[in-house]
Amino acid sequence: MDKRFTTKENPIILGIESSCDETAASVVCGRKILSDEIVSSADIQSLYGGVVPEIASRAHTDAIAKVVERAVKNAGIDYSQIDAIAVTYGAGLLGALLVGVSFAKAFAYALNKPLIAVNHIRGHLAAAYLQDETLKPPFITLLASGGHTAILHTKTESEFEILGATTDDAVGEAFDKVARVLGLKYPGGPNIERLAKEGKNTVPMPQMFKGNGGYNFSYSGLKTAVINYCHTKEQKGETYEKADVASSFQSTALDVLVKKTVAAAKERKVSTVTAGGGVVANGYLRTALTNACEKEGLKLVLPEKRYCTDNAAMIASEGLVQYKLGNFADFDLTAKASIPLSATLKTVQNKA
Ligand code: KG4
Ligand code: ZN
């Protein structure tokens, strides 16, 4: 426990996020969101088919002061009322992260308030705390983003176990790569979802439940199968329905997530399920998870779509978890391009 600062029950925390192409700032009071601001450079990035790190860094530099100022103003507070500043320090694009980290350090120093270093992925998990103010561990979480796919068992606010994770590509990454083959723009996930609504599940996909992989996942086989299907059709000069490919891929990629998440909750005898990460904004996944949890009598805490994709409210929410643990950062904090899922919290490694 850090003794430099006394802590409050419901502190006002400013969260700052700049790990990829969104510059975001949010003010929360306890688990209540007072403001949530976001500026994205996705439109510029889509011209290049993906995120160009240097363009992202420049866009963050241009936006950060304005975004933070707006977040504080719209929260209806003065700067002096902020109790702590939480910032994403990793994982992500180094240059992009550095913009947020440098800004947060200067801000915390000027206000003489504690600085909290947040692991971006832990932020995605903490989004559920904002959705349900009464949410308490234990719960099982499905984490599905552009960089991670995992099922976690949170036992206390400071202790969780990784039950399974992807052994190769993350599910969001598979969406983005398949989107590219289908000629859809970045970011691929929402565009596949849109196209899939017009299609049918008629394209054969590889089996995702083979073997006894436990709670692990593998997406590289599925991604390759879709790419091969499209390329073979094109080489033979045959036409195919892109919407059917999108629909077949989407359900194959997402059904396995639902099935394993619910199985983990049942096996662990945990009655609450949460989810987080950009892919959880997908309507097909949200409906399937809601139906499966309802069928099994599990309580599901599903963050609103805007709190599944990158945002700063989730960073402030994880900031609150760390604040309560007295886990404050020093001013030598630096950005990290990659950090393990378990960083900053005590974890129990899965022995299975
Ligand atoms: O969590 P996130 O915003 O950033 C990371 O931390 O990775 O996740 C981004 C990922 C991208 O791969 C994007 O294509 C995917 O989430 N995504 C979706 C949807 N919205 C975002 N995937 C499927 N359906 C969506 N509606
Ligand atoms: Zn993210």
Partnered with residue 348 across adjacent β-strands are 161
**pLDDT(54) > 90:** no
Res. 229: pLDDT tops 90: yes
Q: What percent of the chain has pLDDT over 70?
A: 94
Q: What pLDDT is recorded for position 43?
A: 82
pLDDT in tens, 161-198: 999 999 999 999 999 999 999 999 888 999 999 999 99
Q: Is 281 in the pocket of ligand 1 (CB under 6 A)?
A: yes
Ligand 1 pocket residue status of 172, Cβ below 6 Å: yes
Question: For the segment 295-342, what is each residue's pLDDT rounded down to a tens digit?
Answer: 999 999 999 999 999 999 999 999 999 999 999 999 999 999 999 876
Q: What is the pLDDT of residues 243-252, one digit of tens each?
A: 999 999 999 9
Mean predicted confidence (pLDDT) in 84-111: 97
- Please report the atom of ligand 1 found closest to the CA of residue 176: 14
Rg of the chain (C-alpha set): 20
Run of H or E including 348: strand 346-348
Cβ(174) – ligand 1 distance below 6 Å: no
CB atoms within 10 A of CB 72: 21
| Residue 58, both tokens | 């420049």
> What pLDDT sits at residue 40?
86
CA end-to-end distance (rounded Å), the chain = 32
Mean pLDDT of 217-244: 95
Is residue 235 over pLDDT 70? yes
- Answer whether residue 134 shows pLDDT above 70: yes
Ligand 1, atom nearest to 146 Cα? 7
Tokens describing residue 63: 């936006």
User: Which residue carries 């805007």 as its tokens?
Assistant: 306
**Bigger pLDDT: 227 or 348?**
227
Atom of ligand 1 nearest to the CA of 171: 12
Sheet with strand 346-348: strands edge to edge: 299-301, 272-276, 139-144, 149-156, 159-165, 346-348
The string of DSSP codes covering 269-300 is T--EEEEESGGGG-HHHHHHHHHHHHHTT-EE
pLDDT tens digit sequence for 200-215:
999 999 988 765 569 9
Mean pLDDT computed over 86-93: 96
| Statement: residue 351 has pLDDT above 80 | no
Q: In this prediction, what percent of the chain has a pLDDT beyond 90?
A: 83
Largest CA distance in the chain: 69
Question: 8-22: per-residue pLDDT in tens?
Answer: 889 999 999 999 989
Closest Cα partner for 277 from 127, 163, 173, 158? 127
Tokens of 132: 């349900």
Tell me, in angstroms, the distance from the centre of ligand 1 to residue 151's CA: 17
Is the pTM higher than 0.85? The answer reads yes
